[in-house]
Amino acid sequence: MVINRLRTFLADPGAILDAIDNESPSGTGRSHLIERGRQVAEELGGPAPDKVKATLMTLLCRVEIRSDCVEIALSRGRLTQLLAGSLDLKMRHQEPTNAPDDILRLTVPVGLKRVFAIPR
């Protein structure tokens, strides 16, 4: 669910430009970031679990599960660095970001289902 939401976000040029608007270059630099977003979206759907995990750990600040949605908090700065190609995915320790304007929140609507166990 989280990966699918991130893939949808990264494949949407408008969403990327909205997310990194203050930090992004203009013109051809923006088209490069959009193209890189598409590439990262494809990589997240690929068969390389180590690379997927590294990308997620780099971007994600927090995943919160609520009764009506799953909220994914990302770092705008790290997203911009990833798309610009200046972020090392091999770095294991990422300092959490505390700046409220650096947090980008994505949501996935969900609904709880009741599951009944059938006695044997």
Q: What is the pLDDT of residues 58-88, one digit of tens each?
A: 888 789 999 899 999 999 988 988 898 887 7
81-120 pLDDT, tens digit per residue, is 889 888 777 665 556 566 778 899 999 998 777 777 787 7
Give the mean pLDDT of the chain. 84
pLDDT at 105: 94
Domain ranges of the chain: 2-109
Structure tokens at 77: 């700065």
Global confidence as pTM: 0.78
Query: What's the half-sphere exposure (Cβ side, CA atoms, 13 Å) at 45?
Result: 13
Taking the CA atoms of 38, 100, 107 and 53 in sequence, report the sign of the dihedral they define.
Answer: positive
Helix (H) / strand (E) containing 28: helix 28-44
For the segment 17-27, what is each residue's pLDDT rounded down to a tens digit? 998 875 556 66
What pLDDT, on the 0 to 100 scale, is given for residue 90? Answer: 67
Partnered with residue 22 across adjacent β-strands are none
Comparing CA positions, the residue from 13, 3, 9 lying closest to residue 35 is: 13
